[in-house]
Structure 1
Amino acid sequence: MQRLTYLLGPSLRARPVLRRLAQPASAGFFRAPISTHTVPTLKDPTLLKPFPFLDNEFLVPTASQSTFTVADPVSGQTIAQVPDQGVEDVRRAISSASTAFKSFRHTTARERANLLRRWNDLVLENKEDLATIITWENGKPIADARGEVSYAASFLEWFAEEAPRVYGDTIPAGVRANRIITQRQPIGVCGLITPWNFPAAMITRKVGPALAAGCTVVIKAPGETPLTSLALAELAKRAGIPPGVLNIVTTLENTPEVGREMCSNSTVKKISFTGSTPVGKLLMRQSADTLKKLSFELGGNAPFIVFDDADLDIAVAGAVISKFRSSGQTCVCANRIFVQEGVYDEFAERLSDKVKEFRVGSGYNTNTTHGPLIHPRAVKKVHDHVEDAREAGAEVLLGGKKMEHLGMNFYEPTILTGMKTEMRLYREETFGPVAALFPFKTEKEVVELANDTDVGLAAYFFSKDYSRIWRVAEALEVGMVGINTGLISDPAAPFGGVKQSGFGREGSKYGIDEYTVVKMMTFGGIGDLQE
């Protein structure tokens, strides 16, 4: 069987490639046969842009002559060679954004809202192509990719509506003749550093409020998945967003120096970063000399609690979506699943029955429910966590092995029982398809276990007792709590954490505040009415 596809090789030009597809592997209880490792032809091939984006132009000359490889995580085959930009390139992008800010900041809120609305419409019109690109470079199933595109567009729509609602205040003055008012103004050029796990939504969740506030941006695209962000840039250009307002730097090997320049460059007034806690700390140190405004969405170690009075059908469904969405590669994925002793065995059995229904394989297969991990390092970390737990006495109820017959980045959806607090998975975020079940006895005990971590992004718990719901929700040391649900993401919801999961909020009415500064103006000498 053969299929004509497009492969972007070192020449950075699309060329047709014929190759024989892999034959299905022997069937396992959650293995989906791979029918293709290739990407279908895009309806609009001009969306595939393996070049940085500066002043509304692609194919810009770069100071660095090196490139990096964007690889299909299913097959490991090269999708594109993309310029690996460096410090001089990011300085050019910052300069472009600074020039554009001088005029863009004076556009009306309604003008900016209309730009975001047109961008939203174009994203939805090109939903299938964007989803195809996401699945190709990220590996997530096409249905999940389509969902991400809709989610990404929702932030453009949300902040199109928020742009005209950046209000100030009038404040009673302590002096009779004075009047105090406040005004929110755009902070300036913003540096945005986004991750690979949601290559569309993490862009729009940051760019949407920045542009709504009147800021301009320089985006450091994720090296693993830059093509999605560049496709979004093409649609932003078509929507009429002016040159220099949105710029994208592409880099992989030069990421440390590019990040350092964004943080230390005094023209950049704000850094927004989604990624690991150690990198967030580094960026914070690098931003100190220029006292930038920062918002960080960092690592998590989310507890997922099932009380013995929970509706187990709802709890299992919540665990499936919270733990296994994107093969466990989200920052709010459940990491430690605490189940009260009275329902522990039944919950484990029900969860196992659901996970056995999974089909793992290429994201373009219509029967695939779960795709690969992003790269071999991710597989190694997942396997190391499973082996550590197994050696310390955990039972592998399901899975627990690499799926090398599918490719180097596949790992079996796994359920571990008999987990203990001394195991690595209790302390470290796995970021993979491993559900680790810890037993507990009391409400007080499980809240202490849930809070026994340096991070605090998200938590989930399931109970029918409304008194317990209030007690536990208020006691959990996290920024977001899901109660009887495993899905908490919504453009209307403030997304962010506490402790070493960072600070600041994205989405919601609070998200735009991260890109503004408050100016106070006092009017004096008003006095009394004239006779």
Structure 2
Amino acid sequence: MLEPDAIASVPTDLFIGGAWQRTARRMDVEDPSTGEVLCTVADADPGEAAGALDAAVAAQAGWASTSPRARSEILSRAHALVLEHADRLALIMTLEMGKPLTEARGEVVYAAEFLRWFAEEAVRVDGGYMSAPGGGSRFLITRQPVGPSLLVTPWNFPLAMGARKIGPALAAGCTCVIKPAPQTPLCTLALVDLLTEAGLPAGVVNVITTSRAADVMTPLILDGRARKLSFTGSTAVGKHLLELCARTVMRTSMELGGNAPFLVFDDADLDAPVAGALAAKMRNIGQACTAANRILVHRTVAAEFTRRLTERMAALPMGRGVADGVVVGPLIDRAAVDKVAALVADATGRGAQVRTGGTRAEGAGNFYPATVLTGVPDDARLCHTEIFGPVAAISEFDTETEAVRRANNTPYGLVSYVFTEGLARGLRVSEALEAGMVGLNLGVVSNPAAPFGGVKESGLGREGGRVGIEEFLETKYIGVPA
């Protein structure tokens, strides 16, 4: 499919109550590899957003009473449609977000799997029955949908994050209003268009695109009728949203920032951690909350690990994501490039050495080359904030105790990576790490069938896995006389 055709295939208006609604205000969607405007989409105001919530509230009772099997079948049809349109969706994703086309195709499959997983979970929501321990009554335990839900997705995985939130909400019987990131609204609009084709009733999913998130979302959160907020984004914004949600005691799921340590022990077969580091660091050009942020390598193998990783990183082709063979696409915008450049400059100013890359690319687009730094001190800024770019920051350790202590020395706790050939050490270290997820000899942990989420300031709740649907269900106890 040609690039203009792919963009032209996407609706660009608000989707409210089962209809596409045009607005007077529009916002640009840019190609981060060129800076050119791909198209314009609707730029919602608070009134239009309120209309989307009205539609979700109106549809809630009907959707909640729809049989689990019927909800499951709609999600199953949506899964098939996403795969049927995989090439088109991947091209849309690459154009609006920048990731290489091969990786975008992988995300389409990943997104579709969330729809299939929650189609299967929709028919497995259960409850309980028991007699009161003291006699005299019986307990019925039922599970019911939370209610209208607000879903806020990030720009870095624009299709998968929409599917990961919409899938469990629909499976549980919740209607929703979804707000995609302003940089990447097209994947969400295309996904909802396919959900409509799959038979989703009007008002069950509503989409508001906007450049004024705070003005638009704050009234919806404080309205009182929405009973759930699922947010993926920065910790700073997540904390603010939690404060707002506290006013109406709204249920929340928060998938926030990360600062993932990547530990390589001296008994590791270096082929595995080098491949794992490449995957954990370069997925999505490093723009992932699960990205390896601090690579800690045992001193006795650090030189050889660094040599191998540097060789692999230096060979990664950089360019526009639609070009054949490209691995390093553009970062999302110029501010992202500026941030990465500033973090590298800070680290080198504190004594880190550049092994490859380390200088922003010239010319159009938001490019920064794959970079390897060694001798990175713990006080470097990039050790305390998400890099969100293709920079591998390596430092050395001497003992297991030191490695765990340094790995845990962060307010974040999303994911950690451990590479060792020792089973006892692998389990011991995995249990000691303060993270919601651990990749033990594995560089990519994300899987729709696994619970995704963190501890500490990395978030609340889990997405995916058997517990993913629990985030959209309330437990009700009904007492019955014996």
Give the TM-score of the pair, scaled to structure 2. 0.98
Shift of 1:257: 1.1
Greater mean deviation of Cα atoms: 499-508 or 355-364 = 355-364
Name the residue aligned to 1:123. Answer: 82
Shift of 1:85: 0.7
Say which SS state the counterpart of residue 19 (structure 2) adopts.
coil
Match of 2:259 among 287, 298, 301: 301
8 Å Cα contact 1:140-1:326 kept in structure 2: yes
Name the residue aligned to 2:14. Answer: 52
| Bigger radius of gyration | 1
2:153 aligned with 1:189: no
CA distance in 2, matches of 1:349, 1:40: 42
Name the residue aligned to 1:9. Answer: none
Shift of 1:46: 6.3
Name the residue aligned to 1:73. Answer: 32
Percentage identity across paired residues of the two chains = 46
**Which string of whole-angstrom CA distances, capped at 9 and with x for unpartnered residues, describes residues 257-316 of structure 1?**
112123211110000000000000010111111110000000000000000101100100
Name the residue aligned to 1:403. Answer: 361
8 Å Cα contact 2:452-2:463 kept in structure 1: yes
Shift of 1:172: 3.6
8 Å Cα contact 2:14-2:22 kept in structure 1: no
2:382 aligned with 1:417: no
CA distance in 1, matches of 2:296, 2:131: 51
Shift of 1:66: 2.4
CA distance in 1, matches of 2:158, 2:192: 12
Matches within 5 A, 1:82-231: 82-231=41-190
Runs of 4+ more than 4 Å apart? none
Shift of 1:488: 0.5
Match of 1:337 among 292, 295, 298: 295
**Which string of whole-angstrom CA distances, capped at 9 and with x for unpartnered residues, describes residues 371-414 of structure 1?**
00000110011000100011111100110011123x23000110
Match of 1:432 among 389, 396, 405: 389
8 Å Cα contact 2:314-2:357 kept in structure 1: no
Say which SS state the counterpart of residue 123 (structure 2) adopts.
helix
Unmatched 5+ residue regions in structure 2?
Answer: none
Question: How many residues align structurally?
Answer: 482
CA distance in 2, matches of 1:300, 1:361: 27
CA distance in 2, matches of 1:429, 1:144: 21
Name the residue aligned to 1:441. Answer: 398
CA distance in 2, matches of 1:61, 1:175: 61
Relative to total residues, which structure has the larger helix share, 1 or 2? 2
Say which SS state the counterpart of residue 53 (structure 1) adopts.
strand
Shift of 1:41: 3.3
Name the residue aligned to 2:412. Answer: 455
Greater mean deviation of Cα atoms: 170-179 or 70-79 = 170-179
CA distance in 1, matches of 2:4, 2:420: 44
Say which SS state the counterpart of residue 290 (structure 1) adopts.
coil
2:5 aligned with 1:41: yes
CA distance in 1, matches of 2:414, 2:269: 25
Say which SS state the counterpart of residue 252 (structure 2) adopts.
strand
Shift of 1:223: 0.2
Shift of 1:176: 1.3
8 Å Cα contact 1:47-1:234 kept in structure 2: no
Residue 362 of structure 1 aligns with an amino acid whose one-letter code is R
Matches within 5 A, 1:189-338: 189-252=148-211, 254-338=212-296
Shift of 1:86: 1.4
CA distance in 1, matches of 2:73, 2:372: 48
CA distance in 2, matches of 1:426, 1:408: 27
CA distance in 2, matches of 1:403, 1:53: 39
Name the residue aligned to 1:518. Answer: 475
Greater mean deviation of Cα atoms: 354-363 or 273-282 = 354-363
Shift of 1:40: 5.8
Residue 267 of structure 1 aligns with an amino acid whose one-letter code is R
* Shift in alpha-carbon separation, 1:46–1:114, aligned structure 2, 3 A: farther
Greater mean deviation of Cα atoms: 46-55 or 353-362 = 46-55
CA distance in 2, matches of 1:196, 1:218: 17
| Cα RMSD (Å) | 1.2
Shift of 1:426: 1.0
